[in-house]
Every structure is written in structure tokens, then in C-alpha cells.
Structure 1
Amino acid sequence: MRIHYVPTVLLLGSAVLILLIGAGLLLKGRAVRRTAERFRSRAVAATATVVSLEAKDLSFGAEPDTRYFPVVSFVPDGATEAVEAQTLTDVPSPPPRVGDSIEVAYDPERPDHVDVAVTEGTAEGAGRTYAVLGSLVLLLALGVAAAWLVLLLVVWTH
């Protein structure tokens, strides 16, 4: 059996690089999830007034999915002036109208970090995109390594 060094270095080097990228994506997803959990652990509830709605179209397929992120105004505990901020997550359908009151949760250390209270206590989606992408990239790394193995066992041995 003769090992061809250039394809071996290219394929295995690529597999290692892709593996590192996948691991980085998984670690980023974990960090995002932890950040969301920390926010939830110290969040304070408040009643806010919807100032405006920001519509964002997410289209992963043929049909766009419109999500609404309210811009709200509220007075944090111990403050005298109102804070105006866009929520970190979208509101469930149907979205509130401008002038409506909604319950929010905010970070007392950074009152401009506001979330809709309906989503409070759940961080299930936080970091999910990074985790899915990381998993797919890791599968790609395994595929590249498997391609090298096929070349080694099938092509180069004959």
C-alpha cells in the first residue's frame, strides 16, 4: 500500500480545520445559552408600553415568516426616567398594538436588555442555531475524514 502524502495532508488537514470550526460553533452556542440563562436568573419584571413594532422577515423556505419585536418604554425599579428598548425576542401572535401594555423582563444591570415576559423562564432556543450548525460542520469533518479513509483502503491499495 502506498500513501499519497499530498492528498492525505489536504484531506486530513481539512478535516481537522473543519472539526475546529464545528467545535467553535458548538462552544459559541453554549456561551449564548449561558448568557440567556444568566439573563433569566437576574431579570426583573416590569410593565411596559409598546412604542413601535419592528417587523423582521425570516424566510427559511418558500414562505416568509414575519416576527414582531416590540420597542417598549418602561421605568426600571429605582429609576426616574423611562428606558426605551427593543425586546430581545419576538412576541407571540397576534402582536400587540402601539400603546398597548405588555409585561417585560429586563436586566437590572443593563435595563436596555429587555425581553417579553411571556418567554421568561425559557432559554430553550438560545444557542440552538449555533448547535445545529456546529453539528452539521462536525458531520462534514467526519465525511472528509471518511473520504480519506476510502481513498486509503479502496483506491490506493489497488
Structure 2
Amino acid sequence: MKIHYVPTLLLVGTTLLFLLLAAGLLLKGRSVRHRARTFRSRAVDAAATVVAIEAKDLSLGSSPDTRYFPRVSFVPDGASEPVEALTLTDVPAPPPRVGDQIEVAYDPEHPDRVDVRATEGTVEGAGRTWFILALLAALTAAGVAAAWVVLAFVVWTS
């Protein structure tokens, strides 16, 4: 069997780069999930008034999925001025109307970080996009490695 060094270095190097990318994406996902858990552990509940609704279309495939994120105003504990912030999570359907009261949870250290109370306790989705990207990068690394194996043991030995 004759080893072709240039294609071997390119394919093995590409595999290693994709594995490093997958590891980085996995670490980012874990970081996002950890921050979500930390937020939940120290969050303070408050009643907030919806001042606006921002619709965001998420398109995966042919049909867009519209999610609604309320902009709320509330007075944090120990403060005299209200804080206005866009919630970190969308609200369950149907969305509230402007002027409605909703329960929120906010970070006392950063009152502009607000979450809708109805979604509390669900940190499983936090970081999911990063985990999916890490999986795709790892699968790509496996595919490049498989291509090298095919080249090395099937094509180059013939």
C-alpha cells in the first residue's frame, strides 16, 4: 500500500479540525445551559406589565414558526424606577396583549435579564442549538475520516 501524504494530511487535518470545532461547540452549549441553571437558581419573581410584543419568525423548512417575546416593564425589589426589558423566552400561545400583567422572573444582579415565569423550570432546551451543531461537526469529522479510510484501503491499494 502506497501512502499519499498530501491527501492524508489534508483529510486527517480536516478531521481533527472538525473534532476541535465539535468540542468547542459542545463546551459553548454546556456554558449556555449552566448560565440558564444559574439564572433559574437566583431568579426573583415579579409581576410585569406587557408594553409590547415582538414577533420573531423561526424558519426551519418551508413553514415559518412565529414566536412572541413580550417587552415588559416592572419595578425590581429595592428599586424606585421601573425596568423595561425584552424577555429571554417566548410566551406560550396565545400571547398576552399590551397592558396585560404577566409573571416574570428576573436576575437581581441584572434586572434587564427577564424570563417569562410560565417557562420556568425548563432549562433542557438551553444550549440545544449548540449541541446540535456539535453533533453535526462530529458527524462531519467521522465522514471525512471514513473518506480517508476508503481512499487508503480501497482506492490506493488497488
Give the TM-score category using the shorter length: over 0.9
TM-score computed with the length of structure 1 as normaliser = 0.99
Partner Cα distance (1:109, 1:32) in 2: 18
Q: CA deviation at 1:6?
A: 0.4
Tell me, what secondary structure is at the counterpart of 2:113? strand
- Structure 1 match to 2:69: 69
Gaps of 5+ in 1: none
Q: Summarize the alignment of residues 121-140 of structure 1 with structure 2, pairs less than 5 Å apart.
A: 121-140=121-140
Gaps of 5+ in 2: none
Partner Cα distance (1:129, 1:30) in 2: 11
Report how many residues are paired.
158
1:43-84 Cα distance to aligned partner (Å, 9 max, x none): 000000000001101111111111110000000011111000
Q: Summarize the alignment of residues 3-152 of structure 1 with structure 2, pairs less than 5 Å apart.
A: 3-152=3-152
Partner Cα distance (1:108, 1:48) in 2: 15
Tell me, what secondary structure is at the counterpart of 1:93? coil
RMSD, aligned CA: 0.6
User: In structure 2, what residue type is equivalent to 1:127?
Assistant: G
Q: CA deviation at 1:156?
A: 1.0
After TM superposition, which residue ranges in structure 1, 4 or more long, deviate above 2 angstroms? Answer: none
